[in-house]
């Protein structure tokens, strides 16, 4: 970390800044490559108590998915995959944070397509910075591997040579910048 970066997060509410944050995903395609995408509309907050306890709540507008292919995005929004007409929002609510070496494990409940499961994000706190005139900012990187079928995304298209068009494991990566609220 540079001298301008602090390693503690002060008490209060930190709003996720969607302009400086990314929620991405990747999934195996045709058994040989990966399709990558993002969710472009999301919000959330990190709350730090005076005693150092932390909680996180976030929402993702699932229809905002973007894989840079309109035809594929339309199929992903349909009932075969995310069914955004009936399940427009995915949510995450933390249940705890644990220290694991120089990283953290952020436990929580993730709801997607009407199904809720506990997940643990591998989290790295990147520090804080006074910002550029709009207030203090904090940075985080996190990831988790989910099984899409746990969330009712069970579309299967088998390949003649074995395997499937779409893999079951989806890696979700978050690059988050949060702004301290007054």
Sign of CA dihedral 124, 127, 131, 134: positive
**pTM for the predicted model, two decimal places:** 0.91
Is 70 exceeded by the pLDDT of residue 5? Answer: no
Could you tell me the residue ranges of all domains in the chain? 12-180
CA distances from 117 to 10, 55, 113, 150 (A): 30, 17, 11, 8
pLDDT value of position 38: 98
- Residue scoring higher pLDDT (19 or 165): 19
Is 70 exceeded by the pLDDT of residue 20? Answer: yes
Which conformational region is residue 67 in: left (phi greater than 0), alpha (psi within -120 to 50 degrees), or beta? alpha
Confidence of residue 6 (pLDDT cuts 50, 70, 90): low
How far is the C-alpha of 82 from the C-alpha of 133, rounded, in Å? Answer: 39
**pLDDT tens-digit profile of 30-64?**
666 799 999 999 999 999 999 989 999 999 999 99
DSSP string over 52-78? S-EEEEEEEEGGGEE-S-HHHHHHHHS
- Residue scoring higher pLDDT (30 or 8): 8
Q: What is the CATH number of domain 12-180?
A: 2.40.128.110
pLDDT value of position 2: 40
**pLDDT tens-digit profile of 136-146?**
999 999 999 99
pLDDT value of position 154: 87
Confidence of residue 134 (pLDDT cuts 50, 70, 90): confident
Q: Which residues pair with 108 in a beta bridge?
A: 94, 119
What b/e sequence results for 141-176 when a residue is b if at least 16 CB atoms lie within 10 Å of its CB, and e otherwise? bbebebebeebebebeeeeeeeeeebbeebbbbbeb
Query: What's the Rg (C-alpha) of the chain?
Result: 18
pLDDT averaged over the chain?
A: 90
pLDDT value of position 28: 79
What b/e sequence results for 58-95 when a residue is b if at least 16 CB atoms lie within 10 Å of its CB, and e otherwise? bbbebbbbebeeeeebeebbeeebbbbeebeebebebe
Token pair belonging to 83:
């069914």
pLDDT value of position 3: 39
Cβ-based neighbours of 150, under 8 Å, separated by 6 or more: 115, 117
């Amino acid at each position: 970390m540079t001298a301008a970066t602090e390693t503690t997060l002060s008490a209060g509410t930190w709003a996720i800044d969607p302009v400086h944050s990314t929620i991405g995903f990747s999934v195996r395609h045709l058994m040989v490559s990966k399709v990558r995408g993002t969710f472009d509309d999301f919000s959330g907050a990190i709350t730090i108590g005076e005693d150092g306890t932390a909680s996180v709540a976030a929402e993702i507008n699932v229809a905002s998915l973007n894989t840079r292919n309109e035809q594929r995005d339309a199929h992903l929004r349909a009932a075969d995959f995310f069914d955004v007409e009936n399940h427009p929002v995915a949510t995450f609510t933390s249940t705890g944070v644990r220290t694991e070496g120089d990283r953290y494990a952020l436990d929580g409940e993730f709801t997607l397509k009407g199904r809720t499961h506990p997940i643990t994000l591998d989290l790295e706190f990147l520090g804080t910075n006074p910002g550029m005139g709009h207030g203090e900012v904090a940075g985080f990187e996190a990831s988790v591997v989910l099984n899409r079928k746990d969330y009712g995304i069970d579309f299967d298209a088998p390949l003649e040579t074995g395997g499937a068009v779409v893999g079951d494991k989806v890696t979700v990566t978050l690059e988050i910048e949060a702004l301290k609220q007054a």
